[in-house]
Amino acid sequence: MQKSLSVYDSDGSTFAPLVVIELVSETKEEAIAWLLNRVRDKQQDGGAELLVEQLTPGAQGTEKDNPNVYVVGASWQRLLYGAEDVGLFKEFNDGSMRGFTYANKHNFKEFQGDGDGFLSMAECQYIIKHELDNLRAKDEAHVPGYPKMKLYPGKSVIRRMQSKGILVQVFPLHEKEELKRLSFSWFKKIKLSFQPLDDIRHYFGEGMALYFGFLEYFTLALIPMALIGIPYYLFDWEDYDKFTVFAGFNLVWCTVILELWKRLSASLAYGWGTLSRKKAFEEPRPGFHGVLGVNPVTGRAEPLYSNAKRQLRIYLVSVPFVLLCLYLSLYVMMIYFDMEGWALMIHDEEPTFWTGLLLFIPSIIYAVVIEIMNLIYRYAAEFLTGWENHRLESTFQNHLVLKVLVFNFFNCFASLFYIAFVMQDMVLLRQSLATLLITSQILNQIMEAFLPYWLQRRRNKKAHKRMIKTMEDKELPLSEQVKLEADMSTYLGTFDDYLELFLLFGYVSLFSCVYPLAAVLVVLNNVTEVYSDAFKMCKVFKRPFSEPAANIGVWQLAFEAMSVIAVVTNCALIGMSPKVKSYFPESETQLILWVVGFEHFLLASKFILTFVIPDVPKHIQIKLSRLEFESLEALKKRLRLKMAAHAVRSKVEENRSHLAGQLPSSKIP
Amino acid sequence: MQKSLSVYDSDGSTFAPLVVIELVSETKEEAIAWLLNRVRDKQQDGGAELLVEQLTPGAQGTEKDNPNVYVVGASWQRLLYGAEDVGLFKEFNDGSMRGFTYANKHNFKEFQGDGDGFLSMAECQYIIKHELDNLRAKDEAHVPGYPKMKLYPGKSVIRRMQSKGILVQVFPLHEKEELKRLSFSWFKKIKLSFQPLDDIRHYFGEGMALYFGFLEYFTLALIPMALIGIPYYLFDWEDYDKFTVFAGFNLVWCTVILELWKRLSASLAYGWGTLSRKKAFEEPRPGFHGVLGVNPVTGRAEPLYSNAKRQLRIYLVSVPFVLLCLYLSLYVMMIYFDMEGWALMIHDEEPTFWTGLLLFIPSIIYAVVIEIMNLIYRYAAEFLTGWENHRLESTFQNHLVLKVLVFNFFNCFASLFYIAFVMQDMVLLRQSLATLLITSQILNQIMEAFLPYWLQRRRNKKAHKRMIKTMEDKELPLSEQVKLEADMSTYLGTFDDYLELFLLFGYVSLFSCVYPLAAVLVVLNNVTEVYSDAFKMCKVFKRPFSEPAANIGVWQLAFEAMSVIAVVTNCALIGMSPKVKSYFPESETQLILWVVGFEHFLLASKFILTFVIPDVPKHIQIKLSRLEFESLEALKKRLRLKMAAHAVRSKVEENRSHLAGQLPSSKIP
């Protein structure tokens, strides 16, 4: 834990600041005082029992600075109890991973002395966020000073203030020293090496580390494909028969890598203690609203919103909206084909170098338009899913992912499917695929790393310059650091990063058999992606709260769905290849039946493989079973002791009544 | 619990006999004495703490009777502790299902007074079986008197004696009164009604009740199909176009009923307390052998058998054997087609009534041969799977089910597939289907209920007559009852019953669109099946130990796989119908592509439906979440108390050292 920065507690003792709370500058005094008291109150009085202090503005503090910035920390013991509360898993003395308990703390491997360094700063920040989120209203009817900001017993105070807009943001602080080390080992080294996943997890948490792990795994898994693809390009192998071999390779490849990833991710998650960690009970998401009622599960007061109403909104508004967007996307695709035809016409009339270049223009424009449409749709989908008013963040995310995936898939691949299976023009397919892939890669890299970086530079050019200068200087005062970080952009989660990988996976697995260089391009893109993503996490964005995760969640499903579609597509492409056709000279029906039979066989094998390959490697399975067995045995032992005690007790009572019968007048103690 | 029968304990008190242990008659005295002592020993001394007595032969006892028959019971308190030990779920005061604990016993709904009637006799017997199975060797090197019957610490005594053959059988006793009531409400009533599932569960346990529940559900689900099928038969609708409608109905039907069954079975299992019950740790199955080693999970001594060796046995012996059997089955099928052709030839030469009848002979012979092959293969598969030496009963069962399913599916349906898709002869298909279905139904009913009944009657005709006579008489002595039941056949589990349903499901879902009467026949069969199965459970077999089950296990998967195959088959049949063909007069290719597209759409919808329909109904999901939430909250509360106590303690210590500072010489207690 970072000890260099510290603020003084009200008792005069110091504490390490971990999390920053920013309220709007015109917040009423009584609301602030109430909030701070609630945060400081003892747990048995319903408080969070944390340490919180107002940030004293530094020397360069100006009038314009918001005075309502608070730093939150906690005593070491409070953090350890919090670790038990959030259900952290840590390595035990015997090498297995177990749920941390305060009483048992000395039996954990890394707990030495006072336990200094036992919890990473990211974990401490996660604990503080959890405790802040779980700070609940008692009998207050509203936030003091704001009669309209209704509260009811059990409502999360922080969430209410956030949804009503007096709480601007809550964010964890960066750790300068640690960040410098991490940046160096991650992306500042020249030599190519694996990413420091454990360090990433240590600093950013498991969710982020799994994303980078998956990115790296995906890149490595693509290398064999890229290597096979290169000779196709170098020797200009134009015949589709060699592509058939490539398509066959594709099929096996995409099934196997996804299965292996599940095992790898289980290994990583086990080592990080998130594999067997129980999911905490999920609270309603901040934006959820409804009539106050009683939750049937928790028995707590909570807004309720009828499921029927939500279904109506989904089926009567969202679904038609998505369909309309798909139609629009089709319409744009048709315009693209018109443009394509027009460019071809011009080129055919008088072919020059310039008209040859012109041939690529429609594809490039189309690629840009696709990216813009994806972007606009993304916002619309987010708005719409919010309006559907899902109770849980996880259901919200699932509905959002589903909406966005369907549209992006359609938007990016519809034209390719049309070219491949309706126009059956393999040359155009290849050209289209190449242009789409390259353009979208370039656009993505610009949009996701350099644009935010440039925007931020422009926004606070001066402050940034100062930061750059003083970043090297260890003695940057706390107030300055907080101010700088508060102005950084907020990282919105791994959604867009995964989406990008998903689309790249689509380009590679669906059509790369007609453009084997796709894998090479994707590998190159992923290598730069690692660097740009690492750069943006360390330099561009506020530190995000770490998110415990045991796997990549709904994305595993999305990638698997894509690989099923890839089987169908590749089989169809194989069936269309002239060489395969030549095996069935008389009857096209025979050909199709064979291809369909082959495809069914592949799909069946795929599902069987998914069943047969265990999702968790055996050595981890054994460790998990051992823990389970031990807890069962402990239960039984306790039961046996109880039985023995019971037996002794009834024996004693029997004797006593026996004695009492013999000596009716004597008192037996 | 049955109180009418009782034997005297060694203390002179009586206990209700629940389970019978039969040892071979020439067992050595010292082994018997040792076993009885171990069963009676206190739990803290490693015993089972049960009550056990030798059965005193009744008045009619002859010299030939085996004297080594023992009845086992337990004190009521022991049974209640046992209920906690096996993890029984019971209804709590608040209506939810909770794991029973002895300390909390008065908070369970049906626990009144001493708790009489709280546990059903089946549950008591299950508890006793569990405790007997868990009776483990301590430091004995072998069973006393049998130096070759090796034991090692932790080895289950009963299992070893069973596998070495001195223990003939362990079985639970029937409960005459209860059985009479159950028989009456189950199959002796004349009027048609639902089965008394709760009573069945009460008497035979959850596994059996789920089988009968599934049988009933399946029959009800078939009724709409049967109703639609009847007019096809009555009005002799021979055109295949109407069959297309039927095939479409088939597709929707088989997806929906399987999904709904999952929900229904979850409801049943929740009410019976098995849904959220944790699976006990699985012991090696009795037949498992290997070199003594240490189990990495339990740390106990246990035979180990290398996985590589097992894989070798599976892939080098079992798989080739299964393939050989499939080839044989194909060979028999070809002989059948030869016979069919020969019968047709004779009929064509001079068609008379008798040659018309002759047309059915090959199918009937083939059906009988199929049944015989299935039966022989069943034994071979069991032997082979045993030889594969699986460690767990569950893996053994999975491998056995897989082997048997593949062969039975192939054996029963290969000829139908051949007729449908290679010969494309719909008339022959219908005739074959009808003959196969009817013959196999008749054979099955004979084999599974009447044959064992008849065999048993013959075996002990006299004893049986006596039983029938005295069944009405309540005063049948215990020794007589035990003797009678010991001679009844042993019920080998629901495997064959499910297998039969699986094949019927196949006949209906795969091909019924060409023979709509199939559903009617299956409904009729199932109604008689309910009666014959109920009869055999109550009258023919020994009472089986109740087996807790939350669902129908691997059979759900098998039925779902069949429904996927049904989609493919029905789509193909639709594509072959003349009406559908007439929509694509020019191009057969177009037709096939449309049918394949339609099939892919159906398969995709099927998988999406499986995801979308929740497996557990919402009201049960809420109850489960509430329990989980409560246990989480209880944990947190405990943590908070600990924190408060810690705070007080450190405060006191602080004061103490403060005081100690002021008064250095005084001793503070």
Q: Does residue B509 lie within any of the structural domains?
A: yes
Query: What is residue B290's predicted lDDT score, i.e. its pLDDT?
Result: 86
Query: What is residue B111's predicted lDDT score, i.e. its pLDDT?
Result: 87
Model confidence over B333-370: pLDDT tens digits?
Answer: 999 999 988 988 888 888 888 887 888 888 889 988 99
Q: Does residue B640 lie within any of the structural domains?
A: no
Determine the Cα–Cα distance for residues A285 and A394; give it in Å rounded to an integer.
9
Asked whether the predicted pLDDT for residue A617 surpasses 70, the reply is yes
Interface A:B, Cβ pairs < 8 A: 78
List the single residue in A81, A103, A622 with the smallest CB-CB distance to B297: A622
Q: Does residue A489 lie within any of the structural domains?
A: yes
Over residues A260-264, the mean pLDDT reads 93
* Percent over 70 (pLDDT), chain A: 90
Determine the Cα–Cα distance for residues B19 and B172; give it in Å rounded to an integer.
4
Over residues B246-272, the mean pLDDT reads 87
Higher pLDDT, A454 or A616: A616
Contacts of B48 (CB under 8 A, 6+ apart): B38, B39, B40, B41, B131, B132, B134, B135
Tokens of B80: 């209640």
Query: What is residue A175's predicted lDDT score, i.e. its pLDDT?
Result: 86
A626, A641, A643, best to mutate vs chain B, most B CBs in 10 Å: A643
Tokens of B67: 């004297």
Tokens of B116: 């009489």
CB contact under 8 A, B629 and A281: yes
Exposure string for B255-281, b = 16+ CB within 10 A, e = fewer: bebbbebbbebbebbbebbbbbbeeee
Q: Does residue A523 lie within any of the structural domains?
A: yes
A81 and A166, same domain (yes or no)? yes
Over residues A381-401, the mean pLDDT reads 91
Determine the Cα–Cα distance for residues A125 and A19; give it in Å rounded to an integer.
6
Contacts of A240 (CB under 8 A, 6+ apart): A426, A514, A577, A578, A579
Asked whether the predicted pLDDT for residue A501 surpasses 60, the reply is yes
B219 and B127, same domain (yes or no)? no
Most confident of A377-386, A513-522, A544-553, B233-242: A377-386
Asked whether the predicted pLDDT for residue B8 surpasses 80, the reply is no
Asked whether the predicted pLDDT for residue A58 surpasses 60, the reply is no
Query: What is residue A665's predicted lDDT score, i.e. its pLDDT?
Result: 46
List the single residue in B281, B296, B625 with the smallest CB-CB distance to A297: B625
Over residues A441-446, the mean pLDDT reads 82
Rounded to the nearest angstrom, the minimum Cα separation between B351 and chain A is: 38
Residue B14 pLDDT grade (very low, low, confident, very high; cuts 50, 70, 90): confident
* Percent over 70 (pLDDT), chain B: 91
A210 and A287, same domain (yes or no)? yes
B639, B646, B653, best to mutate vs chain A, most A CBs in 10 Å: B639
CB contact under 8 A, B642 and A44: no
Last residue of a domain, one of B173, B195, B212: B173
Cβ-contact A491, A537 below 8 angstroms: yes
C-alpha separations of A591 from A14, A157, A285, A428, A588 in Å: 78, 66, 54, 25, 5
- B77 Cβ under 8 Å from any chain A Cβ: yes
User: Which of A 157-186 lie inside 8 A of B, CB atoms?
Assistant: none
Q: How many CA atoms lie within 13 A of B298 on its CB side?
A: 17
Residue B214 pLDDT grade (very low, low, confident, very high; cuts 50, 70, 90): very high
Rounded to the nearest angstrom, the minimum Cα separation between A297 and chain B is: 4
Global pTM value: 0.87
Query: What is residue A64's predicted lDDT score, i.e. its pLDDT?
Result: 66
Cα angle for residues B371, B377, B378 (degrees, 5° grid): 90
B203 and B126, same domain (yes or no)? no
Burial of B20 from C-beta contacts in 10 A (0-12 / 13-18 / 19+): buried
Cβ-contact A437, A507 below 8 angstroms: yes
What string of DSSP letters covers B453-489? HHHHHHHTHHHHHHHHHHHS-TT--HHHHHHHHHHSB
Cβ-contact A492, A543 below 8 angstroms: no
| 3 state SS of B53 | strand
Over residues A319-330, the mean pLDDT reads 95
Partners of A77 on chain B (C-beta within 8 Å) are 646
B297, B557, B598, best to mutate vs chain A, most A CBs in 10 Å: B297
Tokens of A544: 């995000």
- Asked which of A169-183, A440-454, B267-281 is least confident by mean pLDDT, the reply is A440-454
Cβ-contact B575, B595 below 8 angstroms: yes
B154 and B198, same domain (yes or no)? no
Query: What is residue A611's predicted lDDT score, i.e. its pLDDT?
Result: 84
- B465 Cβ under 8 Å from any chain A Cβ: no
Asked whether the predicted pLDDT for residue B5 surpasses 80, the reply is no
Query: What is residue A4's predicted lDDT score, i.e. its pLDDT?
Result: 40
Cβ-contact B546, B122 below 8 angstroms: yes
CB contact under 8 A, A281 and B632: yes
What string of DSSP letters covers A291-325? EEEE-TTT--EEEE--HHHHHHHIIIIIHHHHHHH
Phi first, then psi, for residue A69 (nearest 5°) are: -115, 130
Over residues A204-211, the mean pLDDT reads 92
- A77 Cβ under 8 Å from any chain B Cβ: yes
CB contact under 8 A, A643 and B593: no
Query: What is residue B666's predicted lDDT score, i.e. its pLDDT?
Result: 43
Partners of A596 on chain B (C-beta within 8 Å) are 592, 596
Rounded to the nearest angstrom, the minimum Cα separation between A406 and chain B is: 14
Q: Does residue B240 lie within any of the structural domains?
A: yes
Burial of A596 from C-beta contacts in 10 A (0-12 / 13-18 / 19+): buried
User: Which of A 545-574 lie inside 8 A of B, CB atoms?
Assistant: 568
Rounded to the nearest angstrom, the minimum Cα separation between A319 and chain B is: 16
The whole-chain average pLDDT of chain A stands at: 84
The whole-chain average pLDDT of chain B stands at: 84
Asked whether the predicted pLDDT for residue B480 surpasses 60, the reply is yes
Q: Phi-psi region for residue A575, left (φ > 0), alpha (ψ -120 to 50) or beta?
A: alpha
- A280 Cβ under 8 Å from any chain B Cβ: yes
Last residue of a domain, one of A114, A148, A173: A173
Partners of A310 on chain B (C-beta within 8 Å) are none
Q: How big is chain B, counted in residues?
A: 669
Higher pLDDT, A276 or A667: A276
Q: Does residue B313 lie within any of the structural domains?
A: no
Query: What is residue B59's predicted lDDT score, i.e. its pLDDT?
Result: 52
Asked whether the predicted pLDDT for residue A664 surpasses 50, the reply is no
- B193 Cβ under 8 Å from any chain A Cβ: no
Query: What is residue B260's predicted lDDT score, i.e. its pLDDT?
Result: 92
Cβ-contact A523, A219 below 8 angstroms: yes
Cβ-contact A505, A218 below 8 angstroms: yes
B596, B628, B654, best to mutate vs chain A, most A CBs in 10 Å: B596
Tally of domains in chain B: 2
| 3 state SS of B115 | coil
Model confidence over B43-98: pLDDT tens digits?
Answer: 888 888 899 988 876 555 555 678 889 999 998 889 998 888 888 899 888 888 88
Domain extent for A296: 180-305+389-616
Determine the Cα–Cα distance for residues B579 and B244; give it in Å rounded to an integer.
9
Higher pLDDT, B645 or B240: B645
Query: What is residue B576's predicted lDDT score, i.e. its pLDDT?
Result: 83
B513 and B544, same domain (yes or no)? yes
Rounded to the nearest angstrom, the minimum Cα separation between A344 and chain B is: 30
Q: Does residue B526 lie within any of the structural domains?
A: yes
Partners of A640 on chain B (C-beta within 8 Å) are 43-44
Partners of A643 on chain B (C-beta within 8 Å) are 43, 49, 81
Asked whether the predicted pLDDT for residue B469 surpasses 70, the reply is no
- A133 Cβ under 8 Å from any chain B Cβ: no
B100 and B193, same domain (yes or no)? no
Query: What is residue A667's predicted lDDT score, i.e. its pLDDT?
Result: 43
Last residue of a domain, one of B114, B146, B173: B173
- B95 Cβ under 8 Å from any chain A Cβ: no
Exposure string for A255-269, b = 16+ CB within 10 A, e = fewer: bebbbebbbebbebb
Bridge partner residues of B71 (DSSP): B20, B53
Tokens of A159: 């969430």
CB contact under 8 A, A81 and B629: no
| 3 state SS of A547 | coil
A172 closest CA partner among A134, A205, A135, A220: A205
- B651 Cβ under 8 Å from any chain A Cβ: no
Query: What is residue B125's predicted lDDT score, i.e. its pLDDT?
Result: 93
Q: Does residue A639 lie within any of the structural domains?
A: no
- A634 Cβ under 8 Å from any chain B Cβ: no
B142 and B211, same domain (yes or no)? no
Asked whether the predicted pLDDT for residue A470 surpasses 60, the reply is no
B192 and B274, same domain (yes or no)? yes
Determine the longest span between alpha carbons in chain A, in angstroms.
128
A558 closest CA partner among A504, A509, A502, A480: A502
Tokens of A314: 């989904």
List the single residue in A296, A596, A625 with the smallest CB-CB distance to B622: A296
Determine the Cα–Cα distance for residues A430 and A420; give it in Å rounded to an integer.
9
Tokens of A619: 């050595």
Over residues B552-575, the mean pLDDT reads 90
A163 and A191, same domain (yes or no)? no
| 3 state SS of B275 | coil
Query: What is residue A462's predicted lDDT score, i.e. its pLDDT?
Result: 55
Asked whether the predicted pLDDT for residue B665 surpasses 50, the reply is no
Model confidence over B374-401: pLDDT tens digits?
Answer: 989 999 999 999 999 999 888 998 999 9
Partners of B596 on chain A (C-beta within 8 Å) are 592, 596
Over residues A466-475, the mean pLDDT reads 52
Rounded to the nearest angstrom, the minimum Cα separation between A44 and chain B is: 7
Determine the Cα–Cα distance for residues A666 and A283; give it in Å rounded to an integer.
62
Query: What is residue A404's predicted lDDT score, i.e. its pLDDT?
Result: 94
B102 and B193, same domain (yes or no)? no
A69-73 and A89-91 beta bridge pairing: unpaired
A208 and A165, same domain (yes or no)? no
CB contact under 8 A, A596 and B600: no
Determine the Cα–Cα distance for residues A363 and B285; give it in Å rounded to an integer.
65
